Amino acid sequence: MEELSKNYDSEVLEPRILDKWLTGGYYARRPGVGDCTVTIPPPNVTGVLHMGHAMDDTIQDTIIRFNRMRGVSTRWILGTDHAGIATQTKVDKKLAAQGISRRELGREKFIDACWDWTHEYGGHIIEQIKRMGCSVDFDDPHFTMDPEYATAVRKVFCDWYHDGLIYRGKRIVNWCPTCGTAISDDEAEYQEEDGHLWHLRYPLVEPIDGVEYIVVATTRPETMLGDTGVAVSPKDHDKDKFVGAKVKLPIVDREIPIFSDFYVDADFGSGFVKVTPAHDPNDFAMGERHGLEKINIFDETAHVVEGYGEFTGMSREECREAVVAWFEEHGLLDHVEDHHHSVMHCYRCPSALEPWLSEQWFVAVDKLKGPATEAVTSGEVTFHPARWTQTYLTWMENLKDWCISRQLWWGHRIPVFYCADCGWEDACMEDVDVCPKCGGHHVHQDEDVLDTWFSSQLWTFATQGWPNHPEQLEGHHPTTALVTARDIIALWVARMIMSSTYFLGEIPFHDVVIYATILAKDGSRMSKSKGNGVDPMDLIAKYGADAMRFNLLTLVTNNQDVRFDADIDPETHELISSPRTEQARAFVTKIWNASRFVLGNLEGFTPGEPVAATPADAWILSRLAGLSERVTQGISEYKFGEVASDLHAFFWNEFCDWYIEFSKASLREGADPVARLQTQRNLVFVLDSALRLLHPAMPFVTEALWEQLPHAEGENAEALMVATWPEPETLARFKNAEAERAIELVCGVVSAVRSTRARYGISPKQELAITVKAPAEVVSTINEQQELIVSLARVNVAGVSAEAEKPAASNATLVSGCEVYCHLEGLVDFEAERARLSKEREKLEKDVAKLDKKLSNPGYLAKAKPEIVEKDKAKHAEFAAKLELVAQQIAEL
């Protein structure tokens, strides 16, 4: 075995270990007992790794590595999504830079350009996922535009079409005038904006009781060109006399009716609501109920169509200004109010979406909702954390038909064919050139493509051979778990359940693991435009993949959102530091150094079984058994934050801080050789087991260290990642509650002495006398462990009894129901200590008061940058904690 380097160098070691895994073929599907199949949520083919991906992939890899080591048949399916809008937008921009438009190029050549783009820029994120140490099967990649996958997509469309679940209709959709396509409701992003509420006068055709006009209130005066009605609430009886009357719509001189509808809120604006059925989904519904005409006033670029005089050709913004100016000029602008409201925006570009009446393809969801709802209410599909169950069910209750057509060229083209000669139409698995009804040759395919979510909903089964090779699904479907973000519960999770229950008659996965949204340090959303995003590859370069992964797992708690502790340069947007990831790297270093200690003390070692030769041995083996239970259960229940905490506490505190200290006496030169050998065996066994338990979370450092360890006879694994998991049942023989109580008492007493030394500046070389007051049933335990206490704490024990009294000039520390008194006579100048502490208290009180005043000043809180306020709050907490400690010390003196 080669000697470990003094320092752990992730930049050198991690690539070497990665190469070992990849060339060894360890990532491929492995046979075993049971099954753990996970499908990676397909990232955009031209995307790059962000913190959400890093969190998602770390969790999945932890699940996969854990199950692989347990001898379960594992498969982690790799794949990417063609990202219709995102990819087409990028290719459009590239062509525009060359002075070429998509329309000039033509559909076929444009699709070729998209393929070229994906080949040139695609796969970058896959290399980044590799660098994270994710043990996904890179030799079996999938892509949503692969021929086999395209067959699955086409079959789903054709089957649903022929089963009456897909139809074409003219409906209001969310239209992006920049991307030139419809966007589903779930993809729309709402942004809060400061706007206005314009109150416009609409003249009555015939005055009513001397009233010549009504006043409508609107946030979008430009859409009044398409008004075909005015609505009032039936509860607003003051307006009953207007129902049935008509107004003459200004500018266009269209006579439109006034009617009542329960949708109208009598308290909004003036109580009169203009109705534009072609540009608002609620207005569309009212238009359907009252037989109103639906008039589109915008074209697909959101410019006013022909027929509106001076307004024709104007953009929405230009039209708004012109309409308001016209109303003001003609004395019909009643008044304007400031109004804060939410505006829908495209999730792919900054454009505000336009509710727009157009002909689109829809999935009728009524027949799909029931089985998909029951899959969750029955417990077949379980959400973790459980609170997301209600989010899913609420969305299913309110689910509307799903608009699946997109006005793009890059994507799965809708497989519907039309005959221009006889009007034949059908959805077909194969392309059609000749009409099967009339034999005509004027057959063309629908121009639109399918929503990307339509294809990705098949991910768990279309990546496993369906529909041509359904036998490949046997034993691997339903998959084990889907790990994803909460914002696509509706977009993806629900649709996967709907499609799987329909086509396979079974759920797509047993568990849905929803991780917290990772926010920037100040609590805002990470984004490129804000420059506050953290690049996972920067974290890996600075701290190593293991440190990043472990830190991410500590953030997997029940929280809905978590702030990522990282400082970003505001100018260059580069990572400056991430204190929590730095702490995780310190843990990696601790693991490395502890392993160096063990490996450096194996002279004369021969393999053998661990034995609880001393109470300390019994304690650490028992603690290891408990750790195996908690980690095994924690990963199985997706409680990764608790798992990370348990692993850290055991390795850092119990193994490094205590057991290695306990073992040093037996390892010293001249120690009993039998005791030395048994200590070596115990150290190797505990370290080996701990590395196995740590491996799913921190694969690189554990693999590198495990290579160096001597292994038990019969251990033939070539790599830690395929070694045996320390099962709780196997380690149960080491459980020893009595040994745990005894050594925890020892650790408590030693810690009490050490903290007293630190508090009063007493040298570790200075022997201290202690007296312990303990319950009668504990006295014998302390006496039995006196030798260990004396050697670790450098003390002499003056007495241990249930009746012990606190000596003069001593301090007291409570430890597990006992009181430990450290004799300080002659070691501490109490008067000087009181004076020093009193002076320190005065200073701290001033510091706390100063920050109290600052943080209670509304002016300061309103003007100061959030990060400055956070620093001041942290300082205040630090000073307050110090003040409390000093007060305790003074009281103790």
Least confident of 192-196, 456-460, 618-622: 192-196
CA-CA distance, 243 to 258, in Å (whole number)? 5
Read off the pLDDT of each residue in 623-648 and give the average, rounded to a whole number: 98
**Farthest CA pair distance, the chain:** 114
- Pair type for strands 425-427 and 405-406: unpaired
CA-CA distance, 483 to 442, in Å (whole number)? 47
pLDDT of residue 681: 97
**Which stretch, 153-167, 395-409, 793-807, has highest mean pLDDT?**
153-167
CA-CA distance, 536 to 177, in Å (whole number)? 34
pLDDT of residue 748: 94
pLDDT at 386 exceeding the cut of 80: yes
pLDDT of residue 715: 75
- The secondary structure of 311-342 as a DSSP string is GTT-BHHHHHHHHHHHHHHTT-EEEEEEEEEE
Q: What is the pLDDT of residues 449-463, one digit of tens each?
A: 999 999 999 999 999
Quick one: DSSP state of residue 741?
H
Give 876's pLDDT tier (boundaries 50, 70, 90). confident
pLDDT at 421 exceeding the cut of 80: yes
Read off the pLDDT of each residue in 116-137 and give the average, rounded to a whole number: 93
pLDDT of residue 879: 84
Between residues 668 and 892, the one the model is more confident about = 668
pLDDT of residue 93: 86
pLDDT of residue 559: 82
Q: Please, where are the H alpha helices in 763-827?
A: 776-784, 786-793
pLDDT of residue 394: 93
pLDDT of residue 893: 65
Read off the pLDDT of each residue in 198-202 and give the average, rounded to a whole number: 95
CA-CA distance, 423 to 115, in Å (whole number)? 34
pLDDT of residue 874: 85
CA-CA distance, 145 to 78, in Å (whole number)? 14
> In terms of Cα–Cα distance, which of 404, 297, 305 is closest to 361?
404
Q: What is the pLDDT of residues 4-54, one digit of tens each?
A: 888 899 999 999 999 999 999 999 988 889 999 999 999 998 888 999 999
CA-CA distance, 404 to 406, in Å (whole number)? 7
pLDDT of residue 572: 87
**Which stretch, 120-124, 209-213, 631-635, 711-715, has highest mean pLDDT?**
631-635
Least confident of 263-272, 526-535, 560-569: 526-535
pLDDT of residue 185: 67
pLDDT of residue 186: 60
pLDDT at 714 exceeding the cut of 80: no
pLDDT at 1 exceeding the cut of 60: no
Q: What is the pTM of this model?
A: 0.84
For the stretch 387-394, contacts whose Cβ atoms lie closer than 8 Å and that sit 24 or more positions apart, written own/partner, are: 388/486, 388/489, 388/512, 388/514, 391/486, 391/489, 392/489, 392/490, 392/493, 392/494
CA-CA distance, 631 to 640, in Å (whole number)? 9
Give 811's pLDDT tier (boundaries 50, 70, 90). confident
pLDDT of residue 110: 93
- Pair type for strands 509-515 and 479-485: parallel
Read off the pLDDT of each residue in 309-333 and give the average, rounded to a whole number: 95
Give 145's pLDDT tier (boundaries 50, 70, 90). very high
Q: What is the pLDDT of residues 61-84, one digit of tens each?
A: 999 999 999 999 999 999 999 988
| Tokens coding 478 | 């339903």
Share of the chain above pLDDT 90, in %: 71
**Per-residue three-class SS string for 110-143:** HHHHHHHHHHHHCCHHHHHHHHCCCCCCCCCCCE
Helix (H) or strand (E) holding 567: strand 567-568
pLDDT of residue 315: 94
Annotated binding-site residue? 528: yes
